[in-house]
Amino acid sequence: MSSLVLQMSCVAGLLGIAVLAIVLSRAKTSTTIIYCATTAVSLVALFGSIRFLVGEAPNASGLVLPVGLPWLGAHFRLDALASFFLVVVNLGGASASLYGLGYGHHDPAPHRVLPFFPAFLAGMNLVVLADDAFSYLLCWEFMSLASWALVMAHHREPDNAKASYVYLVMASFGTLALLLAFGLLAGPTGDYGFAAIRAARHTPYVAALVLILMLLGAGSKAGLVPLHVWLPLAHPAAPSHVSALMSGVMTKVAIYGFIRVTFDLLGQPIWPASVVVLFLGGTTAVMGILYALMEKDLKRLLAYSTIENIGVIFAGLGLALAFQANGQKLAAALAFTAALFHVLNHSFFKSLLFFGAGAVLTATGERDMDKLGGLIHRMPFTSFVVLVGCVAISALPPFNGFVSEWLMFQAVLQSPELPQWALKIMVPAVGALLALAAALAAACFVKAFGVTFLGRPRSTAAEAAHEVDRYSLSAMFILAALCLLAGVLPGLVIDALAPITIDILGGRMPIQADEPWLSIAPIAESRSSYNGLLVMIFITVSASLSVFVIHRFASHALRRGPAWGCGFSDPTPAAQYSAESFAQPIRRVFGTLVFRARDHVDMPAPGDVRPARLRIELHDLVWEGVYLPIVGAVGFSSDRLNRLQFLTIRRYLSLVFATLVTLLLVLAIWS
Amino acid sequence: MTMASLDPVAAVLLVPILSAALLAVLPGYRLTARLNVVASMLTFVSALSLFVIERPQPGPYVLVDDLNIVFIVLNTFVGFTTSIFSASYIAHELEAGRLTPVYLRFYHAMYQTMMFGMNLAFVSNNIGLMWVAVEIATLTTVLMVGIYRTHAALEAAWKYFILGSVGIAFALFGTILVYMAARPIVGEGQDGMIWTLLIQNAAAFDPALLNVAFIFLFLGYGTKVGLAPLHAWLPDAHAEGPTPISAVLSGLLLNVALYALLRFKILLAVNPHAIAPGPLMVTMGLVSLIFAAFMLYRRRDIKRLFAYSSIEHMGIIVFAFGMGGPLANFAGLLHMVMHSLTKSAIFYAVGHISQIKGTQRINRIRGLTVTHPALGWGFVVGVVAIAGLPPLGIFMSEFLIVSSTFARQPLLAVALVFGLLLAFGALTLRLTSVAFGEPRGSKASAEASYVPMLAHLALVLCAGTYLPAPLVVWFQHVARLLG
Amino acid sequence: MQMHSLAFDISHTLAGGLVLISFMMLYQDRLYSLLNVFALHAVVLALSVAWQAYIQDAPHLYITAVIALVFKAIVIPVALHRIVKQLGIHRDIESAVSIGLTMLAGMALVALSMVLMLRVTADADPLAREDLAFALSVVLLGLLVMVTRRNAVSQVVGFMSLENGLVLAATGAKGMPLVVEISVAFSILIAFIVIGIFLFRIRERFDSVDVSALDDYRGERR
Amino acid sequence: MVVISDIIVQGVQMLLVLLLAPLLTGFVRKIKARLVRRQGASVFQPYRDLLRLLRKEVVLAENTSWLFRVTPYVTFAAIWVAAALVPTFATGLLFNWTADLIAIVALLGSARFFLALAGMDVGTSFGGIGSSREVMIAALAEPAMLLVFFCIALVAGSTQLSTVANFMASSYVGLRVSLGMAVIALIMVALAENARIPVDNPTTHLELTMVHEAMVLEYSGRHLAMIEFGAFLKLLLYISLIACVFLPWKIALFGTGPLAYAAGAGAYVVKLAAAGFFLALFETATAKMRVFRIPQFLGAALMLGLLGTLLLFVSKSF
């Protein structure tokens, strides 16, 4: 009980801070005060939830407040799953607040951020804690609303207006889908409590419908293709620490909702469900990272890579569904753990990377990678931590990204045990998609880091860049350290996740603490094992060994000279590879199919002095194929109907007359 | 005023009509405006007292029951706040010279007369009297819509008048038919029109007559509710009249007509052989919702925009009542109350906005939150509320309507959700352009009290998160009453 | 409530007459003749109301009858004649739908109202039933006139005939209270409309008073 | 005591691969030279190259950062560790348990990651060309390799190389279609990953055709030495990988005394020689393909890998 009370009071504290922020919105010191307060509260909540999760046998505790639906009240509940996501939320919140302590001072309009930032945090906490449909949706929409206001913080750029609009409409779409789902679950009598829903038996028809609606609702918030369109618009538009929260944390809250309903409330899943989820997850992963590769705006690139990671997580959940549907608890636990682990990891490195992007933004005022470059010389610390983030998100050992990826593959390798043929074939194919996504992710982040931080500066702004303040740096360093920690000591995380799998799936992975040398073995060591710590030690040892040997026995003379470049000395930084040119090979390979990409080269005739031009044509097929038609249809029909605004009174009268006669006719025929 | 303490029902009726007479003769803006406020407040207080004192026995003309007391209190409350708003609004209009003192006197008198008409419609136990009262309210609003005497205003008033008259005729015919149906059972004369008697014996009425009657009543009062395709008068009347009147139209008059509809719905529901009014109401509700949602996209006049949104919400409410059942009815009632409060708050905001910016063209208004933070954010909250976002009241009712409908009639719920999403898109589109972006238009600060607007929004916000238990019990009882 | 057949026949004939005259209105294509037909309509209404007053021995109905006679059969038509002259509305009515179609529609409407009303269970007294059927058809026909005529005056006429239908129904409803008040209220309403037409110089049709005019002011143009 | 011996054996293996790697490359070069009727340099030439490079001073381009200088060591270390994970002459070595096939792919991936970054660091167009093409190739090669390993792991029921090797060595695996596909796919990937013909030409210096070379164009002195050495190791790694998985002939099981180890080592050298010979033969027999044919080449590998994995179920399902 006490943990729940603690969490709730933290939420209350956050709301109080929001009010406080409104009160002293114009005060000079408000930024410092607010962010300090949010940091403190989030830390408290974070440690509370960690204690609950890893503490002795987390047992769920409930709480009913006399608000919300009158005859129901607002139910809140804290169980293992919720506490895990609380860890994610509050860790993101704490780091973002810490970052904001520095970053917030560069904000042109702090009074448009400060009130909503704590409210946003509170909203996310509440969604995770809510235990009845009404409170859940209320908090969910409250969260969307707060984040919308944050996206609107820099409302003077016209793009942001569009971004926030698309975001709000998509969010509302998602909420309505969830609303329908809950309506279906609650039934005509309307018992909206999760406990009641959990207890009720649901027919397969209902289960399938609910799953689809959840994929629409939670998927649109999490950014499943093709519902992802708002994400790359909205996330970059917000201030960077908010972008970090939206990408790193809010999408996770959506995933929490999906898990809560499909795994917890619906009870025993049916295997066809997993096919859908697997398919969506795989495609989302690959599509998302391909979008990211085509992108040259740093923050948009990060947002797209979020879509990719969401895809990976959903693939993991799909695997878990598949195994659970066939009662293979161990494999299900493995896949589920992999998914949750990836949730945690992604919240680490995506926040880190967005912080880095924010640092670049404050240092140079640029988000366009083609105007950046060479920052590694001017922002050494930032570039170092961002490098760590890039390595981690590219799923390279010994960092955390690799571990969850690895667990995911181990789960894929359990597919032979599945009885259904569809799944037998589907799972390895999804594994291939995941592998492809991972490789492309590495390529994408080579591009991101290489173009932004390496090479020569492409603009004066990049030349004049300077290192950012220590608060931002410390936030980033903490996250980087966490990336490494989770990478080298995965066993601890896996064991911490065990209570959740026991709660939700009724099974768990073997206790990793028993494995020798801190290595992890999902099934058995003979099958597969990995030891991040040793790998890191070996790499460092062998690297330092070679360094030592060479500097001991070989020359360490060193001379700086102009770049050789096969004799082509290109004076202008413009001759470097840019973001687009770096992506060119991959655009040639994948883009022609996925984006109908075309390179239009306008080569002047010999003797013509005008420069040659290369124009790249890309089509976002999802946007053009799904959303524009909808917009067009709405516009068309409203134009048609709008004529009714301009009729004459006689025509209006005839409308009335027609209605009357029709109704009378209906009556005459009917009764 | 002594009567007010004696008999609240009488007060609810007498205070407005007497003050109307008084206001008609009294000169001077300040006095009359104040008097207007005071009178409305007295009415509100006496309406409130209906809760505490024991109710009068239903007489031949007057009836106070659970259903209409909700309406009366809401009505008098919004009437009260609107009178405060109109005081500051009208002051500005006088300065701007859009109104002359003569018309002002007329305006205040009409205002109280209208309040009288609406209250009478609520408390009347006699369907004929109710009809008369509704018509009084309508005709007074017609006159007030035309009060600016501009071409546009006259046009709007004229349209309202003609369409309204047809509605009047329909309603009357329906009423006559109900009487005809009732006569063989309850006997001739007065009794044939007394609601309480009708409802007792309705089971034995001739269903065929009741059916035709209901259709006429539905169209007649539905015209006032603003259901598409009978809505034509509504947007222009809202857009061209003085903003307080727009607020009252959306917030109250529509409710009056709705109330009449509900009465007859109950009557029909009692009779086993008559048609079920549900499908009819559901259809018209959906049509209005979706139609209005589409219309929202092409609006350029901010008041017309919200007039159409009123049509949309009336559609939702009628839909909910059409669905019936405890949940849906509860939701319908809640939605009606919330919509009245929210929409009138929005119109207060819009009134100040259009006075400051000197225009109602949406694309000439931008960046309100920058130039007028209080007004701008108030407007934002209002629109967010009307768009059905939490933690504001309309979210709760929409939640109940949609979820309860989906469990019973999935397809209907999908259509409903479609309409809601459409409307949401349109409203937020306008919201972003009006409240945010580079400021445009005059930056003059408004010398107006935001108290009414903020009060309404506070109520809506509170209702969205916490409904006091007695109110809930009340609503649930009424919901059961509505069947 | 036994009604001996003569009384029944007379009121029946009168009510039927009203419907007939409504039909006559439908095929008038001259303004003045339309007005005259309407005057006739009002006279017949007055007669039928008076008859009702007599057989129901409800003296207050005589007031209604008188109002109908004086106001509708004399004052309004005359006023409208004036307006037509003063506003120089030209004499023939342009109708939105061809006369033939209108007649057919009228037939259909009458049939519809019969179908609806003759369902009424037999124990309701036949007179009321017939009356209602006729009243309903008069109402519908009046509305039909309103929507098929492009001319303000003829639309007013349509509205008034509709309202005659109401009065017919109300008087037919035995012992119905407030009938007089209602007829008065309606007469005032109509007066308003007529005055409105006169004041706003609504010449040809309501269409000239069209909302698109509003948009010159408020920019609601497409 | 056991641990000590383990560490010793492991150390032996690490040194062995270190020693053999340049020799293998030299051998391949020699064979290639002989095949085209050239005398060719001695098989020990790579050692000499390395030593000479180590003695030379390093010339850094002005713009390069610390990343550029760290990369050679990181890549070398990563590849070396990966190589240490592959059982060469004996299975069940100490390191084998620290990581599995997937980890090996990832380690090679991180080596490539840093190399590509180093290519970008200089800020010349060549580095860019190299890196972008390298990652494009990798983006296809890695999944292909992973699929091959899926296939193997599904057969052996493990991703643990020692277990796989033991399984392949001991039990009669039988001739599996999917394993055949897997080995072909793996060879194709190996060619791509080691920048061999037909994907890339290790000896070319024609700028526009080169991929790997372009990326490391700016390196010199000891840095270049480390990178070259890394490349040698990588080649060795792949060959021994193929060897230990697909022909674990004579490979010593864990804990079978020195004699078995010696035999295993002998067998290992023989395998290397054979593989090197076939590689040389293949390279001389084929021509390098255009850069944008490579995707199709690797795509084919990917398909083979996937097909192999799917066909497994066919062969397993009865």
DSSP labels for D137-198? HHHHHHHHHHHHHHHHHHHHT---HHHHHHHHHSS-----HHHHHHHHHHHHHHHHHTT-TT
For range A430-454, the mean pLDDT: 94
pTM higher than the cut 0.90:
yes
Contact partners, residue A367, CB within 8 Å, separation at least 6:
A236, A297, A298, A299, A300, A357, A360, A361
Mutate to test the interface with A, among B165, B177, B281, B436 (most CBs of A within 10 A): B436
Eight-class DSSP state of A263:
I
Mutate to test the interface with C, among B125, B132, B162 (most CBs of C within 10 A): B162
Residue A612 CA to residue A609 CA, distance in Å, equals 9
For the stretch A524-539, pLDDT in tens is: 777 788 888 888 998 9
Q: How many CB atoms lie within 10 A of CB C155?
A: 24
Tell me the H-state helices in A187-229: 194-199, 204-222
Copy the structure tokens of residue A575: 């001759």
Instruction: Identify how many contiguous H helices and E strands chain B contains and give both numbers.
Output: 21, 0
Q: Dihedral sign for Cα B60, B64, B70, B76, please.
A: positive
Residue B17 CA to residue B3 CA, distance in Å, equals 13
Residues of A in contact with B469 (CB under 8 A): 70
Do A519 and A586 lie in one domain? The reply is no
pLDDT at B60: 81
C219 pLDDT above the threshold of 50: no
Residue A16 CA to residue A121 CA, distance in Å, equals 12
Residue B202 CA to residue B210 CA, distance in Å, equals 9
Specify whether the backbone of D2 is left (phi greater than 0), alpha (psi in -120 to 50) or beta: alpha
Do A513 and A590 lie in one domain? The reply is no
For the stretch D82-92, pLDDT in tens is: 988 888 887 77
Name the range with the highest mean pLDDT among A84-98, B56-70, B219-233, C44-58: A84-98
- Inter-residue contact C96 to A650 (CB < 8 Å): yes
For residue A158, whether the previous peptide bond is cis, meaning omega lies within 30 degrees of 0, is no
Whether B441 is covered by a domain: the verdict is yes
pLDDT at A383: 95
C125 pLDDT above the threshold of 70: no
* Higher pLDDT pick, C177 / A582: A582
Mutate to test the interface with A, among C197, C211, C217, C221 (most CBs of A within 10 A): C211
pLDDT at A292: 95
Do A399 and A445 lie in one domain? The reply is yes
For the stretch A461-475, pLDDT in tens is: 999 999 999 999 999
Q: Does C110 touch chain A (CB under 8 A)?
A: no
For the stretch A237-276, pLDDT in tens is: 999 999 999 999 999 999 999 999 999 999 888 899 999 9
Of B129, B162, B189, the CB nearest to C175: B189
- Burial label for A63, CB within 10 Å (0-12, 13-18, 19+), is middle
* Residue percentage of chain A with pLDDT more than 90: 63
Question: Going along chain D, which residue ranges are E strands?
Answer: 58-61
A614 bridge partner residues: A601
Chains that touch D (3 or more CB pairs under 8 A): A
Whether A276 is covered by a domain: the verdict is yes
pLDDT at A369: 92
* Residues A529, A309, A235: CA angle, nearest 5 degrees: 150
**Chain A CA closest to residue B368:** A155
- What letter represents residue C32's amino acid? Y
Bridge-based pairing of strands A598-602 and A558-561 is unpaired
D155 pLDDT above the threshold of 60: yes
For the stretch A293-328, pLDDT in tens is: 999 999 999 999 999 999 999 999 999 999 999 999
For the stretch A375-430, pLDDT in tens is: 999 999 999 999 999 999 999 988 999 999 999 999 999 888 888 888 888 898 99
Residue A72 CA to residue B188 CA, distance in Å, equals 49
pLDDT at D223: 93
pLDDT at C186: 80
Eight-class DSSP state of C13:
H
Residues of B in contact with A165 (CB under 8 A): 428-429, 432
Range of lowest pLDDT (A381-395, A480-494, B35-49, C4-18): C4-18
The single residue listed with the structure tokens 């201030």 is: A239
To the nearest whole Å, the CA of A556 is away from the closest chain D CA by 7
- Cα distances from C115 to residues A212, B209, C166, C168, in angstroms, run 49, 12, 19, 19
Residues of D in contact with A523 (CB under 8 A): none
Residue B1 CA to residue B433 CA, distance in Å, equals 48
pLDDT at C212: 39
For the stretch D188-209, pLDDT in tens is: 999 998 888 888 877 766 666 6
Q: Does B273 touch chain C (CB under 8 A)?
A: no
C203 pLDDT above the threshold of 60: no
How many domains are there within chain B? Answer: 1
| Inter-chain touch A585–D291, beta carbons under 8 Å | yes
| Inter-chain touch A406–D222, beta carbons under 8 Å | no
Q: How far is CA A67 from the centre of its chain?
A: 31
Polymer length in residues for chain D: 318
The single residue listed with the structure tokens 């991180």 is: D110
Cα-trace Rg, chain B: 21
Residue A90 CA to residue A86 CA, distance in Å, equals 6
User: Could you write out the DSSP letters of every residue in A321-364?
Assistant: HHHHHTT-HHHHHHHHHHHHHHHHHHHHHHHHHHHHHHHHHHHH
3 state SS of D53: helix
- What letter represents residue A255's amino acid? I
- Inter-residue contact C28 to C34 (CB < 8 Å): yes
pLDDT at B221: 94
Residue A657 CA to residue A662 CA, distance in Å, equals 9
- What letter represents residue B121's amino acid? A
pLDDT at B483: 74
For the stretch A168-195, pLDDT in tens is: 999 999 999 999 999 989 887 778 899 9
D316 pLDDT above the threshold of 90: no
Element (H, E) at A505: helix A490-505
Element (H, E) at B406: helix B393-408
Q: How far is CA D300 from the centre of its chain?
A: 20
In whole numbers, what is the pLDDT of chain A averaged over residues? 91
For the stretch A596-637, pLDDT in tens is: 888 888 888 888 888 888 888 888 889 999 999 999 999 999
C124 pLDDT above the threshold of 70: no
**Chain C CA closest to residue B155:** C209
- Inter-residue contact D101 to D153 (CB < 8 Å): yes
- Cα distances from C68 to residues B56, C10, C139, C189, in angstroms, run 39, 19, 16, 14
Chains that touch C (3 or more CB pairs under 8 A): A, B
Half-sphere exposure (Cβ direction) of C204: Cα atoms closer than 13 Å: 9
pLDDT at D273: 93
Residue B302 CA to residue B279 CA, distance in Å, equals 33
Instruction: Identify how many contiguous H helices and E strands chain C contains and give both numbers.
Output: 9, 0
Under 8 Å CB pairs connecting chains B and C tally to 121
pLDDT at D171: 65
Residue D256 CA to residue D238 CA, distance in Å, equals 25
Residue-range definition of the domain harbouring residue A479: 269-547
Of A428, A573, A585, the CB nearest to D309: A428
pLDDT at B105: 86
- Inter-residue contact A131 to A62 (CB < 8 Å): yes
Of D66, D125, D154, the CB nearest to A413: D154
Whether B339 is covered by a domain: the verdict is yes
pLDDT at C143: 92
Residues of D in contact with A575 (CB under 8 A): 124-125
User: Could you write out the DSSP letters of every residue in B172-206?
Assistant: HHHHHHHHHHHHHHH-SGGGGGBHHHHHHHGGGS-
* Residues B377, B383, B387: CA angle, nearest 5 degrees: 145
Residue-range definition of the domain harbouring residue B350: 277-483
Each domain of chain D, given as residue ranges in start order, spans 2-316
* Residues B441, B444, B447: CA angle, nearest 5 degrees: 135
| Inter-chain touch C220–B156, beta carbons under 8 Å | no
For the stretch A115-138, pLDDT in tens is: 999 999 999 999 999 999 999 999
Copy the structure tokens of residue A409: 């593959």
* Residue percentage of chain A with pLDDT more than 70: 99
pLDDT at A433: 94
Q: How far is CA D153 from the centre of its chain?
A: 19
Whether B143 is covered by a domain: the verdict is no
Do A494 and A378 lie in one domain? The reply is yes
Name the range with the highest mean pLDDT among A335-349, B63-77, B406-420, C113-127: A335-349
Do A493 and A589 lie in one domain? The reply is no
- Inter-residue contact D249 to D240 (CB < 8 Å): no
Start-to-end CA distance of chain B, whole Å, equals: 38
Copy the structure tokens of residue B287: 């049509």
Q: How many CB atoms lie within 10 A of CB A20?
A: 17
- Cα distances from B365 to residues B296, B351, B429, B432, in angstroms, run 17, 13, 13, 11
| Inter-chain touch B176–C128, beta carbons under 8 Å | no
**Mutual orientation of helices B325-357 and B373-386 as an angle, nearest 10°?**
150
- Inter-residue contact C201 to C79 (CB < 8 Å): no
Residue B143 CA to residue D12 CA, distance in Å, equals 104
| Inter-chain touch B158–C217, beta carbons under 8 Å | no
- Inter-residue contact A386 to A351 (CB < 8 Å): no
For range A510-526, the mean pLDDT: 80
pLDDT at B310: 95
- Inter-residue contact D99 to D156 (CB < 8 Å): no
**Chain C CA closest to residue A651:** C147
Query: For chain B (length 483 residues), average pLDDT per consecutive 10?
Result: 58 90 85 91 90 79 85 93 91 85 87 94 90 90 87 84 89 90 83 88 87 93 91 90 92 92 90 87 95 93 94 96 90 94 94 89 89 91 92 90 87 94 94 89 78 92 87 87 80
pLDDT at D207: 62
